[in-house]
Amino acid sequence: MIHLSCHGAARQVTGSCHLIETGRARVLVDCGLFQGSRELAEDNAEAFGFDPSRIDALVLTHAHLDHCGRIPLLVKRCFRGRIFSTAPTRELARLVLIDAAGLQEEEARRAARHAARRKERAPWPLYTLAEAFHSLDFFDGTASYGEGIEVADGVRATFMNAGHILGSASVLLELEDQGGARTIYVSGDIGSCGRPLLDDPQAPPVPPDYVVMETTYGDRDHRAWSASIDELIEAVAATQARGGNVIIPTFALERAQDVLYALSVGLAQGRLPKHLAVFLDSPMAISATEIFARYPQAMRTDVHARLRAHDPFALPGLRMTRETADSMAINAIRGGAVILAGSGMATGGRVRHHLRHNLGVAHASILFVGYAANGTLARRIIDGARQVRLFDEDITVRAQIHTINGFSAHAGQTELLDWLSRCGTPRGVFLVHGDEDRGMRAFGEQLQRRRQPWHMPSAGETIALP
Ligand code: ZN
């Protein structure tokens, strides 16, 4: 009998980790970090709920931290199988895991100083940089979209384009077992349609027996991408006309590249000045952009063609500032620049310096293009705070604040239903990676209406797949 168990993203959004067992093999799909609160972060150090040394292979859907962030820990706890992913996912995961390990070490050093003052034992980092590097040695299977590969004894995996971030995949697993052969389609994260850089999500090559799917936005739809790109171009053009700077707090992976592409569209349409000064002020976003430029074939065909003609990210006035000194020099610019910097929710990173210099300037603009969680500086500014505290300084908000909501890397409810309808009529649909009381349950009600059997697995629950 084939069994499925979820050890993360079970009735919650983060920590994706799903185990599929046959009589002959054990395959894990994703091994992500729990994120979002202190309690969730503490869950990362807990036991996995299975023996890592007995896993034959790990199939990685994409390089977001909540899907790959516990891989170094898995290896530290004796996983010795092979890791399979697409080539861009492998490169992006390297970037993401090394960054995460650096942050873990930094956090542990801070906690150690705190513990020393209280004469307590210093905590260990979840994993170190050395451990993250070691885990990269286990990535040795490169998958191409649409081509089946044998990942373990009696298990074939076919990666299909999920249209979520560069290299992202939904994976069809064909499993041989004494009880007969079965197929499971695991969605990973499903992208929204009409994205500027990525193709729309693909259907599985054959209708699967079972589906495991994400439900992040199972309860609502997003605005169209084209409307959001227009809104971004207009906000930048209006700020240029006023002579102010535009600050865009942005995530390094995918969102920064989407924004650069949107600016290049504005330039090509003559709606933005030809030599618009754009600063990509984030070492991680710069590295991610370089990886994008190396994989034109993983992007939309029209982008691919443009990339051959000229790099869509290489705007004439674009400057990439890796060094801290170059980043600090941007602070002297009083107007006319577009500055992209992290972190996306303004909880840390270089963007806080740019906000300090521009929030109080009436002709400047702050553009929020991503999700902002409660309690973050981004959320306070979006919610209309008149004054914020930055670097021990009270700053009165005078800049224009824009929130552009359509830049979503996730499918909305209608798109999720379309995606599922292209999977035929599976015997069972397992909902994961969603807020239990919102996206997940609302999506389940939609399935109920369509008489589609569905279930929300609990963490660690083992489900037989007859
Ligand atoms: Zn994702």
Q: What is the pLDDT of residue 385?
A: 96
Structure tokens at 437: 């009381």
- CATH number at 294 reads 3.40.50.10890
Residues 362 and 417 reside in one and the same domain: no
Contacts of 37 (CB under 8 A, 6+ apart): none
With tokens 């809104």, the residue in question is: 231
Question: Contact, 339 vs 245, CB < 8 A?
Answer: yes
How many domains are there within the chain?
Answer: 2
Q: What is the pLDDT of residue 310?
A: 62
Residues 190 and 245 reside in one and the same domain: no
Residues 403 and 414 reside in one and the same domain: no
- Cα 446 to ligand 1 centroid, rounded to whole Å: 23
- 3-state DSSP assignment of residue 29: strand
- Cα 282 to ligand 1 centroid, rounded to whole Å: 20
Predicted confidence (pLDDT) per residue in 60-98, tens digit: 999 999 999 999 999 999 999 999 999 999 999 999 999
Residues 174 and 260 reside in one and the same domain: no
Residues 187 and 254 reside in one and the same domain: no
Confidence category of residue 307, pLDDT binned at 50, 70, 90: low
Is the pLDDT score of 202 beyond 80? Answer: yes
Residues 203 and 338 reside in one and the same domain: no
- Cα 71 to ligand 1 centroid, rounded to whole Å: 15
Q: What is the pLDDT of residue 311?
A: 67
Is the pLDDT score of 37 beyond 80? Answer: no
* Amino acid at position 337, single letter: A
* This prediction's pTM: 0.93
Predicted confidence (pLDDT) per residue in 223-242, tens digit: 888 999 999 999 999 999 99
Residues 34 and 174 reside in one and the same domain: yes
- Cα 195 to ligand 1 centroid, rounded to whole Å: 15
Residues 193 and 158 reside in one and the same domain: yes
Q: Report the alpha-carbon distance of residue 194 to residue 207 in Å, rounded.
A: 24
Residues within 5 A (CB) of ion ligand 1: 64, 189
Of all residues in the chain, what percent carry a pLDDT higher than 70? Answer: 98
Residues 243 and 202 reside in one and the same domain: no
b (16+ CB within 10 A) / e for 19-57:
bbbbeebbbbbbbbbbbeeeeeeebbeeebebebeebbb
Residues 168 and 272 reside in one and the same domain: no
Confidence category of residue 35, pLDDT binned at 50, 70, 90: confident
Q: Report the alpha-carbon distance of residue 248 to residue 145 in Å, rounded.
A: 33
Q: What is the pLDDT of residue 132?
A: 98
Is the pLDDT score of 309 beyond 80? Answer: no
- Cα 209 to ligand 1 centroid, rounded to whole Å: 24
Q: Report the alpha-carbon distance of residue 430 to residue 128 in Å, rounded.
A: 34
Contacts of 352 (CB under 8 A, 6+ apart): 346, 377, 390, 391
The parent domain of residue 305 ranges over: 225-407
Among 357, 374, 407, where does a domain finish?
Answer: 407
Q: Report the alpha-carbon distance of residue 206 to residue 263 in Å, rounded.
A: 39
DSSP string, 97-133: HHHHHHHHHHHHHHHHHHHHHTT-PPPPPSS-HHHHH
Q: What is the pLDDT of residue 3?
A: 97
Predicted confidence (pLDDT) per residue in 97-148, tens digit: 999 999 999 989 988 898 888 888 878 899 999 999 999 999 987 999 999 9
Residues 16 and 116 reside in one and the same domain: yes
Residues 214 and 229 reside in one and the same domain: no
- Cα 302 to ligand 1 centroid, rounded to whole Å: 24
Confidence category of residue 440, pLDDT binned at 50, 70, 90: very high
What's the farthest any 2 CA atoms get from each other in the chain?
71
- CATH number at 13 reads 3.60.15.10
